[in-house]
């Protein structure tokens, strides 16, 4: 995924958790649960809805409070 580029990203609340929907240039899509990040202070704010929606620069997802997830992190979270 070194050359992968995020085309768009959005988030949804699913049950009590948060899921990122990531669409890559070329058509691949992944769904990333943020539940594993619940103990990280910046992600706690994201999960509590205090940071708005996720944004992307094509290489990572980020929020206005400084929380960030790279493509590599997202892929490893999907494997867990």
On average, the pLDDT of the chain sits at 89
Residue 61 maps to a domain: yes
Q: What is the pLDDT of residue 1?
A: 52
Q: Rounded mean pLDDT of 61-73?
A: 95
pLDDT of residue 12: 85
Range of the domain at 15: 6-79
- Under 8 Å between Cβ of 22 and 34: no
Q: Is residue 1 part of a domain?
A: no
Instruction: Tell me the pLDDT band of 3, cut-offs 50, 70 and 90.
Output: confident
DSSP letter at 28 equals -
Domain count for the chain, please give it. 1
Lowest mean pLDDT among 6-10, 11-15, 46-50, 63-67: 11-15
Q: Is residue 18 assigned to a domain?
A: yes
Contacts of residue 6, defined as CB under 8 A and 6 or more positions apart, other chains included, come to 22, 23, 24, 25, 56, 58, 59, 60, 61, 71
């Amino acid at each position: 995924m070194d050359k992968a580029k995020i085309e768009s990203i959005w988030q949804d609340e699913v049950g009590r958790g948060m899921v990122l929907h990531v669409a890559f240039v070329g058509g691949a899509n992944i769904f990333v649960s943020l539940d594993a990040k619940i103990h990280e202070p910046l992600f706690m704010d994201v999960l509590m809805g205090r940071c708005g929606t996720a944004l992307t620069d094509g290489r990572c997802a980020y929020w206005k409070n400084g929380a960030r997830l790279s493509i590599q992190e997202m892929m490893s979270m999907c494997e867990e």
